[in-house]
Amino acid sequence: MARASLFIVSRTPLLAHRWAKLFDHECSAAVRTLEKFRFAREEKASRPDLVLLDYACLAEPQADFLRRLKAIYPKTSFILTSFAFLDNSRIVEMLEAGADDYFSQSLPPDLVRAKIRAHLRRIGAGQASRPDAKRFVKGGKNLRLDVPLRRVYRRSDGAGWEPLVFLTPSECVVLEALFSRAPAPVERGMLRDLIARDADSGIRISSVDKHIESLRGKLAPEGRRIRTIYGKGYSWDE
- Tens of pLDDT, residues 166-191: 888 888 889 988 998 888 888 888 88
Which has the higher per-residue pLDDT, 216 or 141? 216
Residue pair 169/198 in contact (Cβ under 8 Å)? The answer is yes
Residue 159, Ramachandran bin (φ over 0: left; ψ between -120 and 50: alpha; else beta): left
> Is the pTM here over 0.75, yes or no?
no
For the chain, the structural domain boundaries read 5-122, 133-236
Could you please state the CATH topology (level 3) that the domain comprising 5-122 is classified under: Rossmann fold (3.40.50)
Domains 5-122 and 133-236 share a fold: no
- Give the class (CATH, top level) of 133-236: mainly alpha
Mean pLDDT, rounded, of the chain = 78
How far is C-alpha 60 from the geometric centre of its chain's CA atoms?
30
Going by C-alpha positions, the residue among 220, 219, 218, 213 that lies closest to residue 234 is: 213
pLDDT tens for 51-82 read 888 898 888 888 888 888 887 777 788 999 99
Whether cis (ω within 30° of 0) applies to the bond prior to 131 is: no
Write out pLDDT tens, residues 141-159: 888 888 877 888 888 776 6
